[in-house]
Amino acid sequence: MSMKERILLLYNLNKIDNELNELISLRGDIPAKIEDLSSEKNQLDERTNELRGELDEINSIENKVQAENDELLKKIEKNDNLLRSGSVKSNKEYNALAKEIEDASTKIKENEKSALEDNTDRKNTIDNELKLIAGQLEEVNVELNQNLKELEDLTTQTGEEEKELQTQKDDLLKKIEPEDIAHYNRIANVKFGEAVAVVRKGSCLGCYSSIPPQKAIEIRTADKIFTCESCGRILIAEELITA
Ligand SMILES: [Zn+2]
C-alpha cells in the first residue's frame, strides 16, 4: 500500500470518528445524569435497608421483652389465683407467692421502661427518615426514568446510523496498518478525536498555523506521514482528498 493510501485511510477514519462523535454528543449530559441519579438511588436504597435492619432489630428485642412480660403476667395471674383460692395454708408459702408477684410486677415495669420506652424515640426517628427517603426515592426514580426514556429515544433515532458507521469503521480498521492506528489513536486521544487535519493553501486547518512552502509540497507528495508542528495532527493535503 502506498503512503498516500495509508494517509487517506486515516483521513477516512477521522471522518467516521467525527460522525460517530457527533451522534454521541447528541446525547448530551444524559448519560452522566443517569449515572448520578443511579448512584443517588443506590445510596438511598442502601440507607433504607440499613434503617429497616435497625428497625427489625428493635422489633425483635421488643418482641422478646413482650414475650417475657407475657410470661411474667401469667405467673402473676397464677399466683394471684392461688392466693385467692384459699388453698395456701402457711404464711411462709403465702409470703413467697406474694413476693413472686411483686418481683414479677417490678420486672415488667423495668422491661417496659428500658426496652419499650427507650426505643420509642429511635423508632420515630427511623420512621421519619424512612418517610423522607421514600419521598426522595420517588423523585429520583421519576427523574431517572425520564432520562432513561430520553436516552432510549435518542438511541432509537441514532442507533441505526451509529451501527452503520461502526461497521464502516471496523471495515476500515482492518485495512489500516496497526502502527498507523496506534499513531492515530495517540493523537485522537489528546485532540478530542481530531487526529487528522487538512492542509489548504499552506495552512493546517486543524490549528490554522501556516506551513512552510517546501513542507507543503512534501505533504502533497506524501512520501511519509507528516504531522503539524504546532498542533501535532497528521496532515493531509487537500489535493489528495479531492483527487
Ligand atoms: Zn496544526
- Contact yes or no for 223/201 (Cβ under 8 A): no
pLDDT along the chain (243 residues), means of 10: 95 96 90 96 97 94 92 95 88 92 94 79 93 97 96 88 95 96 96 94 96 95 95 95 81
Q: What distance in angstroms lies between residue 234's CA and the mean position of ligand 1's atoms?
A: 8
How many angstroms does the Cα of residue 68 sit away from the middle of ligand 1?
Answer: 84
Q: How far is the CA of 127 from the centre of ligand 1 (A)?
A: 63
Nearest to 187 by CA among 165, 171, 201, 206: 206
| pLDDT of res. 121 | 87
In the sheet where 234-237 sits, what is the strand order?
203-204, 196-200, 234-237
Q: How far is the CA of 22 from the centre of ligand 1 (A)?
A: 21
pLDDT of residue 107: 93
Euclidean distance between CA atoms 126 and 60, whole angstroms: 15
Rounded Cα gap, residues 133 and 47, in angstroms: 8
Distance from Cα 196 to the centre of ligand 1, integer Å: 9
**Dist. CA 192 → ligand 1 center (Å):** 14
Within 86-175, residue ranges assigned H as helices are 91-111, 118-175
**187 CA from centroid of ligand 1 (Å):** 12
At 55 the pLDDT is 94
Q: Where do we find the cell 422489633? A: 59
The pLDDT of residue 139 is 97
CA of 217 to the centre of ligand 1 (A): 16
3-state secondary structure 23-79: HHHCCCCHHHHHHHHHHHHHHHHHHHHHHHHHHHHHHHHHHHHHHHHHHHHHHHHHH
CA of 20 to the centre of ligand 1 (A): 22
Alpha carbon distance 178, 167 (integer Å): 18
CA of 65 to the centre of ligand 1 (A): 79
| Cell 441519579 sits on residue | 37
pLDDT score, position 57? 93
29 C-alpha to ligand 1 centroid (Å): 29
- Which domains does the chain possess? 25-176 (1.10.287), 179-242 (no CATH)
- Calculate how far, in angstroms, residue 210's C-alpha sits from the geometric centre of ligand 1: 8
